[in-house]
Amino acid sequence: MVTTTRPSEKTTHKVIGTRPIRPDGVDKVTGRAIYGADVTLPGLLIGKVLRSPFAHARIRNIDTGAAERLPGVRAVITAADLPDPDKGMADVGEASATYRDLSHNVMARDKALYQGHAVAAVAAESASIAEQALALITVDYEPLPPVLDLVEAMKDDAPLLHEDLRTNELGTLSDKPSNIAAHARFLKGDPAAGFAEADVIVERTYTTTMVHQGYIEPHASTAYWNADGKITIWTTTQAPFAIRDNVAVLLNVPVSRVKVIPTEIGGGFGGKLPPYVEPLAAVLSRKSGAPVKMTMSRTEELQASGPTSGSRTHVKIGAKRDGTIVAVEASLAYEAGAFPGSSVRFGSLCMFAPYDIPNMQLDSYDVVVNKPKVAAYRAPGSPAAMFASESALDELAERLGMDPIELRLKNSAKVGTRMANNIPFQHPVGNVKVLEAIRESDHWRSPLPESTETRKIGRGLAMGFWPNAPLKSSCFATVNPDGSVTLVEGNPDIGGTRASLAMQLAETLGIPYEKVIPQVADTETVGYNDATGGSRTTFTGGIAVYELGQDIKQQLIERARILWQLNPEDAIVYEDGTIRGPKEGQQLSFDQLAAQLFKTGGPVVGRASVSPKHVGFAFGCHVVDLAVDIETGKVEILRYTAAQDVGKAVHPSYVEGQIQGGVAQGIGWALNEEYVYDEQGRLVNASFLDYRMPTSLDLPMIETILVEEPHPPHPFGVRGVGEVPIVPPLAAVANAISHALGHRFTDLPISPRRIIETLYP
Amino acid sequence: MTKRVHVETRINGREVDFLCEPGQSLLEVLRDQLHLTGAKEGCNNGNCGACTVILDGRIVDSCLVLAPEVEGREVTTIEGLAGPEHLHPLQQQFLEHAALQCGICTPGLIMAAKGLLDQNPAPTEEEIRLWLAGNLCRCTGYDKIIRAVQAAAQQMEARV
């Protein structure tokens, strides 16, 4: 195995750092695990959505009469069947939306704002009847000019998506309608004075297009609206509690009337945070009196579920001849899609976070266009922004004749350095260590293969930053008479978190991993949990199971006191799964005490609810070698190494897996993936054949270096690991191609077509 | 309503018969009628491989096979791979190597890999990558999947 771990201190852990088999593993390799579309119920109806063929159109009238009369059709709905909520802010993970926008995104009200925008839905006795019914619905559209380009959308005379949208201009609402939802700014020091001191300035504009999260399991939800008003929803989601809360507001019912049962989830990457079909299935169920299942097709996924923003970023860096960066300026514009709420501010926050730069001005613009409303996508906002900043740094290193690692080390942020938002790094961060790890790696020290006439070789390097999100977790656990512990938690397991939470609880209690039995519970069984997202489940969930473990230990000590008939002041210690009394030889193992709980007061149930303040910031540094075939424009990835500060790797295999998966998505974003729209705003590549994600043949093995700079506020030093690895590949790949061809590529994807058009203009 | 077709076939070693519409895919019948939901629908047009099953020894995307086409033939799905008390070496090695994260592509990948090992017991990394290129995985970057298939091949070799 080419994976290297660089622990910062000698570990005394027994469970953490090992690689056990995940508790849900057998169900997932035998096909028995129940995912969203696998749910079935007696009397189940199938729901389907009618979607707008226009990117921008007023809806004059919808005639559902013929569809309603088709035998086998049990319900037809339009936006008229949904309440119209107010503008309160909804929780959709690492993105933002008002309830009203969320509702209008779930079902178009007066206007269809992108191709694929839902306009009506039916429930029928079979999928084929539902599809026939959709064809019988007549919608009277008045097509409007679509707004598809960021620069055009921002112009004063651009057609408007929302007549009532006014720019939030640096905190003040402007008086004129616009497609620019918000202009925000981070300002630090005096950029003009900084640039005046610069010996070298690099400046360019970088662009990316919309790309999709590309989870293999489409959205799938089944809802049953019972006669007593109770709504039960089985759904594939990263955020069961947010879905519960959002559905309650969107349907104007109390939260207590909605129960969400999360199924196993087939990938999300941020795309399974917002509601899409859940509210529609619920309303169809109320109207038909039967449970309704809705699954999205792949085309619907690409057209109408959240991709991430296309972007345009202008960046300017000024430096002294010795490499000291004196000032940066950047202006970022992100497509929000049809409704405001892109992650552009996160992008501007991240782009220079690894560095200590005295003067910065970072402007960000959130812009609506006639494309699907964006959702979070793994480190949302950071990849496109850091594609720009890390490409610009690479160019700066070139201009200065400096090694790209040395340039980054020279300007590294350290404890006390303030980010663009003026928040300082309060705890040790791993930005220097990941650079050093790459500098010392076999990959960086190995020479590149020679280029040939037609095959040009290049190496590229880039860093990535993501702050991670701690948010809230709660859980409980019961000690069973055989010494096992049943853990009930609330985060859908998207990549091995049953294992990572069970391991942290086992470590806390000093019992074997196999003795912890984790369950992912529904919204009426466990306390509130924020989403599986923000790289938070192993981090915040880990703090929760640690606190829960302390609660259980304290209760077990009191049970031993009863058994041993000791006084409250007698010292009893719990150590490594053994409970010891003050007398010589007075001790009980966890199992022995667990077997005697019923005669000392009944079962022991521990609980915890946590909301940690100090999240562990995540840094990565990647290096890639690649070959460009200048006859076909095809890029072959030859070697890839990713170093990341993981704090403490709880289950190293799944940490490596997160890094490797993020790298693969980042390479896809850099080289091939893109939303291609025609002039009418129709997505012309809405299938996995034409929306080209990396296959096994497109990638080499991905080497990982796990740097462990512990995050002190976490009991085991853990940092979130899931998101940051998607950030560096965009610039790393672009930098490598730029070196291979001696031409700087500033627009993604760097597809064969773009390379050929650049080489042979 | 379209007249339905009676189909007799063998699935996972057992005689099975069902009624289906002539245009229904094998994937639909497996999932919705026979409740074999291990085959997953990721795209329904043969691009993701999540619905891979083995038909007369050959791997196919079951979304591209019409259900009536399996008349008189032999279908193996992910549900037919493990014994009551043991896993197939591919299933075991996928677990040992953490070759799944969300797990939605896993049944298809395991069936595709079985199709490979059935005809090439000791494939190279390149041969595995080429063979599995029809099965998309969005979580793993494929690294651990390739290693799991290599380990399963070695385990099966050792057993022979």
- A367 and A514: one domain? no
- A351 and A418: one domain? yes
The number of CA neighbours under 13 Å toward the Cβ of A213 is: 26
**Alpha carbons A230 and A425: distance in angstroms, whole number:** 47
Give residue for tokens 């790298």: A663
DSSP A305: S
Query: CA nearest A560: which of A614, A608, A610, A601?
Result: A601
Nearest residue, CB atoms, A657 vs list B82, B98, B132:
B98
B59 touches chain A (CB under 8 A): no
The number of CA neighbours under 13 Å toward the Cβ of B40 is: 38
C-alpha of B5 from chain center = 25
Do A28 and B103 count as a contact with CB atoms less than 8 A apart?
Answer: yes
Whether A725 is in a domain gets the answer no
**pLDDT at position B160, please?**
65
- A408 and A481: one domain? no
**In chain B, % of residues over pLDDT 70:** 99
- B29 and B57: one domain? yes
Burial profile A437-472: b = 16 or more Cβ within 10 angstroms, e = fewer:
bbbebebbeeebeeeeeeebbbbbbbbbbbbbbbbb
**pLDDT at position A3, please?**
47
**pLDDT at position A2, please?**
44
Min Cα distance B139 → chain A (Å) is 5
- B71 and B124: one domain? no
**Alpha carbons B80 and B69: distance in angstroms, whole number:** 20
Do A295 and B139 count as a contact with CB atoms less than 8 A apart?
Answer: no
- Dmax (CA) for chain A in angstroms is 89
The whole domain housing B152 covers 89-159
- B111 and B134: one domain? yes
| Average pLDDT per 10 consecutive residues for chain A, totaling 761 residues | 47 93 98 98 98 98 98 98 88 78 97 98 96 98 98 97 96 95 97 98 98 98 98 98 97 97 98 98 98 98 97 98 98 98 97 98 98 98 98 98 98 96 94 98 98 98 97 98 98 98 98 98 98 96 98 98 96 97 96 96 97 95 98 98 98 98 98 98 98 98 98 97 98 98 98 97 92
Give residue for tokens 């080390």: A409
Whether A160 is in a domain gets the answer yes
CB A647 within 8 A of CB A718: yes
Encode pLDDT of B63-82 as tens digits. Answer: 999 999 999 999 999 999 99
- B54 and B120: one domain? no
ipTM: 0.98
Whether A356 is in a domain gets the answer yes
- A421 and A497: one domain? no
Structural domain count of chain B: 2
**pLDDT at position B1, please?**
58
* CATH number of the structural domain spanning residue B97: 1.10.150.120
Domain boundary among B61, B80, B99: B80
**pLDDT at position A87, please?**
74
- B29 and B67: one domain? yes
C-alpha dist (Å) from residue B101 to A303, A390, A655, B95? 26, 29, 10, 10
Residues of A in contact with B137 (CB under 8 A): 216, 696
Do B106 and A29 count as a contact with CB atoms less than 8 A apart?
Answer: yes
Residue numbers in chain B where pLDDT is lower than 50: none
Domain boundary among B80, B115, B131: B80
Interface test with A, best of B75, B142, B145, B147 (most A CBs within 10 A): B142
* CATH number of the structural domain spanning residue B54: 3.10.20.30
- A420 and A481: one domain? no
The two three-digit tokens of residue B21, written as one number: 């519409």
Nearest residue, CB atoms, B44 vs list A31, A265, A298:
A298
Do A29 and B138 count as a contact with CB atoms less than 8 A apart?
Answer: no
* CATH number of the structural domain spanning residue A273: 3.30.365.10
Domain boundary among B24, B51, B80: B80
- A171 and A316: one domain? yes
- B48 and B106: one domain? no
- A488 and A389: one domain? no
* Burial tier of A733 (Cβ tally within 10 Å: 0-12, 13-18, 19+): buried
- B41 and B71: one domain? yes
- A242 and A374: one domain? yes
B114 touches chain A (CB under 8 A): no
Say which residues have a Cβ less than 8 Å from residue B15's Cβ, sequence separation at least 6: B8, B9
**Alpha carbons A213 and B139: distance in angstroms, whole number:** 10
Question: Which chain A residue has the Cα nearest residue B126?
Answer: A697
- B154 and B98: one domain? yes
The whole domain housing A415 covers 146-426
B20 touches chain A (CB under 8 A): no
**Alpha carbons A261 and A258: distance in angstroms, whole number:** 10
Question: Which chain A residue has the Cα nearest residue B144?
Answer: A657
- A327 and A180: one domain? yes
Touching A: B residues 82-111, CB under 8 Å? 82, 87, 91, 94-98, 100-107, 110
Say which residues have a Cβ less than 8 Å from residue A305's Cβ, sequence separation at least 6: A212, A219, A271, A276, A296, A372, A375
Amino acid letter, residue A94: E
- B29 and B96: one domain? no
- A421 and A477: one domain? no
The two three-digit tokens of residue A752, written as one number: 């064969």
Whether A541 is in a domain gets the answer yes
* Burial tier of A343 (Cβ tally within 10 Å: 0-12, 13-18, 19+): buried
Indicate if the alpha-carbon torsion angle A491, A495, A498, A503 is positive or negative: negative
